[in-house]
Amino acid sequence: MEQVTFFENNLYYKKTEEAFFLHKKIISERLPFADVQHVGSSAIPNSLTKGDLDIQVRVTPEQFPIAVRALETLYERNEGSSKTNDFRAFKDDSATPPLGVQLTVINSDVDFFWKFREILLTNDQYRKEYDQIKKKYEGKDMDTYREAKSEFFGMLMETAEFRELS
């Protein structure tokens, strides 16, 4: 059973920002057409984080196969994640901090990571609610936490703030 642990983002923010810009440069050299975004809790000041870095790479449907091949040369495929014509996940657990890369097709059903970041950046109440979920699952089973996290993000997708983002 994998347990989840969280830390104050302020301890990691500078390190994750530096790592983001390094990986953004590497990805952009291979995929100059991609929109590379820092997402996840490490992109949200004052939030709790697992201490990892999440990046979303956004491309058009036509660019998606090219982006998959390019990212496969840079990172390991995340086999524990779904694989569709609009989404692929990659990772580098040996990176500092550990890295997750979400490749999505722009305006697809899975093009939401940047939207969650924007909502949590602009609505402190939602950020606090998300942190409360993290506190509740601190030291507990990762899969159970992921279920609660998924419910929370499902609720966010129903908000006017989410629907206004395009």
User: Is residue 101 pLDDT above 90, yes or no?
Assistant: yes
The reported pLDDT for the residue numbered 1 is 74
Q: Residue ranges of the domains in the chain?
A: 7-164
User: Is residue 80 pLDDT above 90, yes or no?
Assistant: no
- Assign 3-class secondary structure to 104-138: EECCCCCCCHHHHHHHHHHCHHHHHHHHHHHHHHC
Read off the pLDDT of each residue in 143-154 and give the average, rounded to a whole number: 96
The reported pLDDT for the residue numbered 13 is 85
Task: Name the H helices within 31-102.
Answer: 64-74
pTM: 0.94
Q: How confident is the model at residue 79 (pLDDT cuts 50, 70, 90)?
A: very high
Question: Which superfamily is assigned to 7-164 in CATH?
Answer: Beta Polymerase, domain 2 (3.30.460.10)
